[in-house]
Chain A
Amino acid sequence: MPREIYLVKVGMTMTEGMVSEWFIADGAEVKKGEMLYALETEKVNLDVDAEADGTVKHLVEAGVTLEPGDVVGYIFAQGESIPDVLPGATSQPEVVVSAEPVAVESAAPMAVEAVVSEGFVKASPAAKRLAKELDVNYLTLQGTGPGGRIVEADVQSAASGQTASQQPAVAAIQSQSSANIKASPLAKRIAEQRAIDLSQVRGTGPGGRIVQSDVENLGASIAQASGPVAGDMVPVKGMRKTIAQRMHQSLQDSAQLTMDMAAVMEDAVKLREQLIREWDGAARPTFTDLVIKAAAKALQKHPLMNSQFGGTGIQLLNEIHVGIAVALPEGLVVPVVRHADQLSLKEIAIESARLATSARNGTLGLDDYAGGTFTISALGMFGVDSFTPIINQPQSGILGVNRILDGVAWEGETPVRQKQMNLSLTWDHRVLDGAPAAEFLQTVVEYLSEPYRLLV
């Protein structure tokens, strides 16, 4: 028996993933422990090693989204005969559909969903009844009725095999969806002639009907009033999909609001320079590190900010793990500085540097993500002075770190230059009100203004 190659499940929350790259070609030999394929999930990219020696046979191509535990291929031991049709190819047809990945992606999300829902396919009641009688899967038929509607004759001819008009379901459904668009016959014809996708055209006729001018002035008119011209479709998957879901859900599920407060950074700037010299390469503290430390200490004093809002109550958390948002080309990751309250500033600097480097190299381990109780997000390097970070659920707060600017302080009647930095705190109003939240922020600001307190 060949050995299955599974899509590895990493972390409890993993619901889907894909082989982003096969390192061992189909039919090539692999040694146990060699890198076999690259796994891409919503959160992590991981290299998976071979668990045995043998010949690798791919069951799925790279780029097909699957569920963890799905079989992606086999390793055949030496001497084992390799069948033409791999086992499992029939056992999970919905996964193995050899529909090119391109079709699946460009048809998303509508067409993919449509495969699931039968009601979407336009078919006459008589056609449906006949399909049932003749055991014809009418979902895969191409309709010849008005607007591509499947009529009795289509089912009949499919059953008798007169026409080989069986098309992949996805393709049939795609043509359906464009037939459902409200457009004048003239607009439809012009769109067809110019290969314009009517689903991308905004109608200006009654009830949003697409009329001739909409199609003819495509580009010109769209730029003016009708909305932007469509460019390429960026697929929402993996990390992007996770961020999209999480951020939207966070805003839907909690009562978030943001306040800004300025910290005097004169001493912090000096302290950081001194520490860089002092530690001499062993560690190089960033302002974010100072904020991590300040926040961790402030969280000790304001335990409500270190909590999770649940159905039965507000769950206070005894440990303080501070997540730091790290921007990557493909999205955002939030590795966690664990027990930040118990770490010295130097230890924090070393740990956060390690996390940032790992994040950029794609080598963060699962534990590096786990268990954050509060998050810090820094946009100061982009010159940002204020923003509204979104809470990383189920946490209760997130602190935005802005740039250090030359502010003004008043010494008597004289304005003097002063290094200042805004902190943008988003918190969950369900957990705590404005006053206690402000008190927490005040504590953070105090620590930053008197940064020697962060060293004790």
Chain B
Amino acid sequence: MKEYDIAVIGGGPGGYTAAIRASQLGLKATVIEKAELGGTCLNWGCIPTKSLLHAADVLRAVQTADELGIKTGKVNFDLSKMVQGSRQAAGRLNQGVGHLMKKYKIDVLQGEAEIKERGLVSVNGVELFADNIIVATGARARTLEGLVPDGNVVWHANDAMTPKKMPDRLLIIGAGAIGVEFASFYNTLGAKVTLVEVLEEILPNEDAEIAAAARASFERLGIKVLTGAQISQVSVGKKLKCQINAESFEFDNVISSVGVMGNIEGIGLENLGVETDRGFVSVNSQQQTNVAGVYAIGDVAGAPCLAHKASHEGVIAVETIAGLAPHALQVQRIPACTYSHPQVASIGLNEAACADRDVRIGRFPLLANGKAVAIGETDGMIKTIFDRNTGELLGAHMVGAGVSEMIQGYAVAMQMETTEVELMNTVFPHPTISESMQESVLDAWNRTLNY
């Protein structure tokens, strides 16, 4: 029987990162993956959608190139080639993970894992021994009753990433990051998109002011947004018929993106009595479950379901196993991004969460930013929230072009525990959209210079 220090169940961004860290620390690790290395993120999530959204961004740029004096003639696009490009990107990265596993001498076992007892894992009937087991099985989309994906009218996210033909009318149920990204993509490509959210505002995890600004942009770009919406009388035939807020609609396709649930079944958690809570494995700050030697990381260990959170948790779990003192992951310092047009990015507390605190809030519209004006990306704003007494940066919320690449600035500031002073004293390059990050801080102290 093969023996390992660590067996990682699931080869997504949490699992494979954990295995690499284990190897770096001299531990013998194996990754067990039932589908593809890289997991949902790399194969059917973050990566291919970024490829598609980039194609949409380019398409929009070409469509509006005339404003910059560029003559393009009639613009067409090849949907299958777009999809092909996204699959190639995923494929390349998937292979890259494979190479990393070889480089770090990590055994990759293809198959379904089941924990038989403590330290004993069965992979397709072949047993192996591992002192420690890291459960990194991820999560899957929740399905709504009566909307079971059929690959035809009712789309699974995978179907939505590999469309054979463009839908005329597309319904997207659930306006979280995933729903909003699909809405943005299909809207840019010309579909009539209806984005439906049961809650009062889209992007319910975001700051309400930012979400409202994003919604206004989306609506300006042609997306029909219905919030506080109730869907009823759903019938799926050749088309999807339903009532939204007592109004009748008909759609060619529907994507449901109403959250995810942890993949906790079929891996033998019940054999060991591993505790779960509402569909996710319960863990402590070192990613330990209630069973010694069993850890859980990433989506299966609970929200926020983000790849970068998963990889950090993987490192934490492995360093705990190695007897090191891993860094503490603070949920308040995990940034989140939505790659729609415009983009949304945030970190920390939003204004509603600060209701009972004495805070200063700074806002800066990209309309007043030189670079944004120069490149015609004035749609957006940057909002910062500080503790009035200590100057702690409690939250930062951005909507606008390219903000997903800027949020890390605030993430570093938070991790370094800077106050407003350091952010005010830092020299930002001109002209950049990132200057707005500083202006927003200045505005919190009524010192903004360019607005």
Q: Which residues of A contact B (CB under 8 A)?
A: 184-187, 189-190, 193, 206, 211-212
B390 A185 Cβ-Cβ under 8 A: no
Q: Looking at the complex, which one of B327, B389, B392 makes contact with A212 (CB distance below 8 Å)?
A: B392
Of B247-255, B291-299, B414-422, which binds chain A? B414-422
B421 A193 Cβ-Cβ under 8 A: no
Least Cβ distance of B93 to chain A in Å? 30
Q: Looking at the complex, which one of A186, A206, A211 makes contact with B391 (CB distance below 8 Å)?
A: A186
Least Cβ distance of A434 to chain B in Å? 39
Residue of B nearest to A186 (CB): B417
For the complex with contacts A211-B417, A212-B417, 19 further pairs of A-B residues with Cβ separation under 8 Å are A184-B416, A184-B417, A184-B418, A185-B417, A185-B418, A185-B419, A185-B421, A185-B422, A186-B390, A186-B391, A186-B392, A186-B417, A186-B418, A186-B419, A189-B390, A189-B391, A189-B419, A190-B390, A206-B327
Distance A184 CA – B390 CA, assembled complex (angstroms): 12
Distance A185 CA – B327 CA, assembled complex (angstroms): 19
Q: Using an 8 Å CB-CB cutoff, how does the interface string of B396-439 with A read, 1 for contact, 0 for none?
A: 00000000000000000000111101100000000000000000
User: What residues of B have a CB within 8 angstroms of the CB of A184 in the complex?
Assistant: 416-418
Distance A212 CA – B413 CA, assembled complex (angstroms): 13
Distance A186 CA – B419 CA, assembled complex (angstroms): 6
User: What residues of A have a CB within 8 angstroms of the CB of B419 in the complex?
Assistant: 185-186, 189
Least Cβ distance of A77 to chain B in Å? 65
Distance A186 CA – B416 CA, assembled complex (angstroms): 9
User: What residues of B have a CB within 8 angstroms of the CB of A185 in the complex?
Assistant: 416-419, 421-422
User: What residues of B have a CB within 8 angstroms of the CB of A190 in the complex?
Assistant: 390
Least Cβ distance of B122 to chain A in Å? 39
User: What residues of A have a CB within 8 angstroms of the CB of B389 in the complex?
Assistant: 193
Distance A413 CA – B240 CA, assembled complex (angstroms): 99
User: What residues of A have a CB within 8 angstroms of the CB of B418 in the complex?
Assistant: 184-186
Distance A190 CA – B327 CA, assembled complex (angstroms): 22
User: What residues of A have a CB within 8 angstroms of the CB of B392 in the complex?
Assistant: 186, 212
User: What residues of A have a CB within 8 angstroms of the CB of B390 in the complex?
Assistant: 186, 189-190, 193
Tally of chain B residues near chain A (CB < 8 A): 11
Residue of A nearest to B387 (CB): A186
A contacts with B: majority SS: helix
7 contacts between A and B (CB under 8 A): A185-B419, A186-B391, A186-B392, A186-B417, A187-B417, A189-B391, A206-B327
Least Cβ distance of B325 to chain A in Å? 9
A-B contacts at CB below 8 angstroms, number: 26
Q: 5 smallest A-B Cβ distances: which pairs?
A: A184-B417, A186-B417, A185-B419, A185-B418, A212-B417
Distance A206 CA – B325 CA, assembled complex (angstroms): 11
Residue of B nearest to A210 (CB): B417
Of the listed residues B392, B417, B421, the one surrounded by the most CB atoms of chain A closer than 10 A to its CB is B417
Distance A190 CA – B392 CA, assembled complex (angstroms): 9
User: What residues of B have a CB within 8 angstroms of the CB of A206 in the complex?
Assistant: 327
Distance A203 CA – B271 CA, assembled complex (angstroms): 41
Distance A438 CA – B68 CA, assembled complex (angstroms): 100
Interface set, chain B 176-224, CB cutoff 8 A to A: none
User: What residues of B have a CB within 8 angstroms of the CB of A189 in the complex?
Assistant: 390-391, 419
Distance A211 CA – B389 CA, assembled complex (angstroms): 17
Distance A185 CA – B421 CA, assembled complex (angstroms): 9
User: What residues of A have a CB within 8 angstroms of the CB of B417 in the complex?
Assistant: 184-187, 211-212
Least Cβ distance of B416 to chain A in Å? 6
Of the listed residues B327, B418, B419, the one surrounded by the most CB atoms of chain A closer than 10 A to its CB is B419
Residue of A nearest to B417 (CB): A184
Least Cβ distance of B239 to chain A in Å? 55
Least Cβ distance of A303 to chain B in Å? 54
User: What residues of A have a CB within 8 angstroms of the CB of B416 in the complex?
Assistant: 184-185
Distance A190 CA – B391 CA, assembled complex (angstroms): 9
User: What residues of B have a CB within 8 angstroms of the CB of A193 in the complex?
Assistant: 389-390
Least Cβ distance of A148 to chain B in Å? 16
Residue of A nearest to B416 (CB): A184
Of the listed residues B327, B390, B391, B422, the one surrounded by the most CB atoms of chain A closer than 10 A to its CB is B390
Least Cβ distance of A131 to chain B in Å? 28
Interface set, chain B 111-134, CB cutoff 8 A to A: none
Distance A185 CA – B392 CA, assembled complex (angstroms): 9
Of the listed residues A186, A190, A193, A206, the one surrounded by the most CB atoms of chain B closer than 10 A to its CB is A186
Least Cβ distance of B243 to chain A in Å? 51
Distance A211 CA – B418 CA, assembled complex (angstroms): 10
Residue of A nearest to B392 (CB): A186
Residue of A nearest to B423 (CB): A185
Distance A206 CA – B422 CA, assembled complex (angstroms): 19
Least Cβ distance of B429 to chain A in Å? 22
Distance A190 CA – B389 CA, assembled complex (angstroms): 9
Distance A187 CA – B390 CA, assembled complex (angstroms): 9
Interface set, chain B 357-413, CB cutoff 8 A to A: 389-392
User: What residues of B have a CB within 8 angstroms of the CB of A211 in the complex?
Assistant: 417
Least Cβ distance of B285 to chain A in Å? 12
Least Cβ distance of A225 to chain B in Å? 10
Distance A357 CA – B419 CA, assembled complex (angstroms): 63
Distance A189 CA – B417 CA, assembled complex (angstroms): 10
Least Cβ distance of A295 to chain B in Å? 50
Distance A185 CA – B416 CA, assembled complex (angstroms): 8
Least Cβ distance of A196 to chain B in Å? 13
Distance A211 CA – B416 CA, assembled complex (angstroms): 8
Least Cβ distance of B326 to chain A in Å? 12
Distance A190 CA – B390 CA, assembled complex (angstroms): 6
Least Cβ distance of B225 to chain A in Å? 38
User: What residues of B have a CB within 8 angstroms of the CB of A186 in the complex?
Assistant: 390-392, 417-419
Least Cβ distance of A205 to chain B in Å? 8
Least Cβ distance of B419 to chain A in Å? 5
Least Cβ distance of B420 to chain A in Å? 9
Distance A193 CA – B327 CA, assembled complex (angstroms): 27
Residue of B nearest to A205 (CB): B417
Residue of A nearest to B330 (CB): A213
Least Cβ distance of B444 to chain A in Å? 15
Residue of A nearest to B389 (CB): A193
Distance A133 CA – B110 CA, assembled complex (angstroms): 77
Q: Using an 8 Å CB-CB cutoff, how does the interface string of B314-343 with A read, 1 for contact, 0 for none?
A: 000000000000010000000000000000
Residue of A nearest to B327 (CB): A206
User: What residues of A have a CB within 8 angstroms of the CB of B391 in the complex?
Assistant: 186, 189
Distance A39 CA – B38 CA, assembled complex (angstroms): 79
Distance A211 CA – B415 CA, assembled complex (angstroms): 9
Distance A212 CA – B419 CA, assembled complex (angstroms): 11
Least Cβ distance of B331 to chain A in Å? 14
Interface set, chain B 134-183, CB cutoff 8 A to A: none
Distance A212 CA – B394 CA, assembled complex (angstroms): 12
Distance A395 CA – B37 CA, assembled complex (angstroms): 73
Distance A6 CA – B391 CA, assembled complex (angstroms): 57
Least Cβ distance of B321 to chain A in Å? 20
Distance A332 CA – B422 CA, assembled complex (angstroms): 54
Distance A185 CA – B418 CA, assembled complex (angstroms): 5
Interface set, chain B 221-243, CB cutoff 8 A to A: none
Residue of A nearest to B414 (CB): A186
Least Cβ distance of A177 to chain B in Å? 21
User: What residues of A have a CB within 8 angstroms of the CB of B327 in the complex?
Assistant: 206
Residue of B nearest to A212 (CB): B417
Distance A187 CA – B416 CA, assembled complex (angstroms): 10
Distance A432 CA – B323 CA, assembled complex (angstroms): 45
Distance A62 CA – B329 CA, assembled complex (angstroms): 55
Residue of B nearest to A187 (CB): B417
User: What residues of A have a CB within 8 angstroms of the CB of B422 in the complex?
Assistant: 185
Least Cβ distance of A146 to chain B in Å? 11
Least Cβ distance of B316 to chain A in Å? 15
Least Cβ distance of B333 to chain A in Å? 11
Residue of A nearest to B422 (CB): A185
Residue of B nearest to A211 (CB): B417
Least Cβ distance of A224 to chain B in Å? 14
Distance A39 CA – B173 CA, assembled complex (angstroms): 88
Residue of B nearest to A192 (CB): B390
Distance A189 CA – B420 CA, assembled complex (angstroms): 11
Residue of A nearest to B393 (CB): A186
Distance A406 CA – B421 CA, assembled complex (angstroms): 72
Distance A184 CA – B392 CA, assembled complex (angstroms): 11
